[in-house]
Structure 1
Amino acid sequence: MSQNTLSPQLLFQRAAVRGKDEAVFTGKICVLVILVATGVLLSVQSSYVVAAVGVVTLAAAYTHAVELQHQCLHHSAFRSSRMHRVIGVPLGTPMLVSYSHYRVRHLQHHRYLGTPQDTEFFGFDTRKQLTLGALAKGLFDVSRLVAVARDIAQCVPGRWQYDMGQIAPKSRKAIISEYRWFGIFIALLATACVMGEGSLVVRLWLLPFIVAMPMHFLVELPEHVLCDTSSVDVLRNTRSITGSWLTTWFTNGNNLHIEHHAAMNVPINRLRERHTDTREFGLHVQRTYFEFFTIVMREVWKNRKTADR
């Protein structure tokens, strides 16, 4: 093995956030702001075609924001741990994803991946048979919206309790405050509609939200689906996709998922340097998203008769 090639052990080594990593993430936030501004500008145009482009642009921005929020969950974006929640909460607001709730559940997912205790925040169960019906249900995760409405209703009077184990009182307090904020956010949108600005609410939030739901699902799907979910070995239970610079940027490195699970605190922008070892030792590594989705559709086709029974 040459001096420039990482050993398999390095794939699992942690790395602290450097000033350069923080600058890279800050740059991603700036790009996101530009993307949102562009989407807003296009969405309010009188031409339905231009407005539709704006809606899709905003949907992409909201999806990308959740992936940036994911990096904040792991405290791998800033050197100051406090900044992760400061930035993470607004990143998840358009998609109604609570930073603190997502963080608790997602860290449990990392801890228990490959065991029955695995509890990912987003509801699609990659351990079940992959069928067209399962994909359709995952594309529009209505159950998550119902759960968000329930959590808001419980958090407003402060009755919310975590149902996936024990959490610190500080985390519970943070979760309650974030769902209360979502209640205020929705109330503000409703007020805008009552005041005659319903068209803006639909163009700038509701339609982008609806489009972003399947978009985000397709970003998350490759992580563990059709992998060995009965194994605790990250080289077997997780997938990486080499991808392009565009897909790596848009998913914020979610395509390099083996690398992420091997060392979840490593800044996302530094995962690419570990991909050579992933390609050599990982069981599920695809070159492109097209290759991955081809595998998915073959599996769906194979399971079509079972799904019809």
Structure 2
Amino acid sequence: MAVEQFLPDRGNARPDRPTLLFQRARVTAADERVFLGKLAVLAVLTCAGAVLALQHNLWAAGAGIILLAAMFTHAVELQHQCLHHSAFRRALPHRLIGVPLGLPLLVVYSHYRVRHLQHHRYLGTPQDTEFFGFDTRGPLTVPALLRGLLDYPRLGTVAAEVVRAATGRWTYAYGHVAPAMRRRIVTEHLLLGAVAAVAVVLTAFGHGEYVLRLWVLPLLLAVPLHFLVELPEHLLCDPDTTDVLHNTRSIRGSWLSTWFTNGNNLHVEHHAAMTVPINRLGERHTETKAFAVHVERSYADFYRVLWRTLRTGPSAP
């Protein structure tokens, strides 16, 4: 895998270590406006997808369902920024916005937040608890990738957690969680359960086609789509180090992939300083190219590397 190397400017010596990459930054009013703009684009495209999905023409309906699946995926990437409290200057709006962003893909905001922050803390150790189930530390095989791509059992797991929350039996399986956070997680599972119950009632009263086209079919497509977005972040990196310059990958990408993943392609930059507003990570990419081991130009480049690795093994040139 080719790694882009830093080229000194006008003969200046290469710095010994990054000077910007690990610096923290506060959310500004301008950052808030950028995020609100992203939410507005999400709303417009979701409405367009819903209108198309309900058309009688099958091609139009199919396009709408695909667009809705893409927006379900994009919404979780926006939710990811809310997890880190890097979208707004105050804490409260992150949960108010983050909870509904995850509902279409059955992602419970506060549960995701607890596990994802543990992922940041313990990346490179056995205690890593990334929320989505594919284990990049395990053997890389086609069956394992297919199980991750078609991770529909996660939907059943979420349903079981909703039942446990409703019956007072929900517990956190990955360590201690504060009582206040547990109440939040239980409440959000109950909210998801209420949304699912409404969908069941609508189906029972003869409106099942709306539920099918606007939620079920897009959800089934969004599961593999989200997997493909998340997969490059740590796969084929060094899983046995806590050094973010070795255990994480950045992909420069295009403006489209950067928008769609909400900057999650710049993943080294994100792990280096996780509370920096996503829209400001690009200015740190030059240092990532200089110091990080795993840097790709595009998602296509990553998937070519993955395909070659599956065919010939990780030690292939």
For residue 75 of structure 1, what is the aligned residue in structure 2? 85
Q: Does 2:242 correspond to 1:203?
A: no
Q: Secondary structure at the match of 1:200?
A: helix
2:250 to 240, 259, 262: 240
Q: Report 1:1-309 matches (<5 A).
A: 8-302=18-312
Residue segments in structure 1 that go unaligned for 5+ positions in a row? 305-309
CA distance in 1, matches of 2:154, 2:313: 26
Q: Is the 8 A contact 1:256 1:271 kept in 2?
A: yes
For residue 307 of structure 1, what is the aligned residue in structure 2? none
Q: Secondary structure at the match of 1:11?
A: coil
Shift of 1:302: 2.6
Q: Is the 8 A contact 1:130 1:303 kept in 2?
A: no
RMSD: 1.6
Q: Secondary structure at the match of 1:158?
A: coil
CA distance in 2, matches of 1:166, 1:208: 35
Output the amino acid matched with 1:98: V
For residue 3 of structure 2, what is the aligned residue in structure 1? none
Output the amino acid matched with 2:296: Q
Shift of 1:303: 5.2
CA distance in 2, matches of 1:237, 1:245: 25
CA distance in 2, matches of 1:289, 1:302: 20
CA distance in 2, matches of 1:200, 1:141: 24
Shift of 1:2: 6.5
Percent of residue pairs identical: 57
Q: Which consecutive aligned stretches of 4+ in structure 1 deviate over 6 angstroms post-superposition?
A: none
Aligned length: 303
Shift of 1:209: 0.2
CA distance in 2, matches of 1:272, 1:234: 17
Q: Secondary structure at the match of 1:240?
A: strand
Q: Is the 8 A contact 1:131 1:303 kept in 2?
A: no
Q: Is the 8 A contact 1:253 1:268 kept in 2?
A: yes
CA distance in 1, matches of 2:119, 2:150: 22
Q: Secondary structure at the match of 1:10?
A: coil
Q: Secondary structure at the match of 2:295?
A: strand
Q: Secondary structure at the match of 1:12?
A: coil
Q: Secondary structure at the match of 2:275?
A: coil
Q: Secondary structure at the match of 1:285?
A: strand
Shift of 1:15: 0.5
Task: Decide which moves more: 145-154 or 238-247.
Answer: 145-154
Output the amino acid matched with 2:243: D
More helix by share: 1
Shift of 1:129: 1.8
TM-score, structure 1 normalization: 0.96
CA distance in 2, matches of 1:142, 1:125: 16
Output the amino acid matched with 2:81: Q
Output the amino acid matched with 1:19: A
Q: Secondary structure at the match of 2:146?
A: helix
Output the amino acid matched with 2:292: G
CA distance in 1, matches of 2:209, 2:157: 27
Q: Is the 8 A contact 2:87 2:277 kept in 1?
A: yes
CA distance in 2, matches of 1:143, 1:74: 27
Which digits, 9 at most, give the CA deviation of each residue in 1:78-99, with x for residues without a partner?
0110000000000000011000
TM-score, structure 2 normalization: 0.93
Shift of 1:214: 0.5
Q: Secondary structure at the match of 1:8?
A: coil
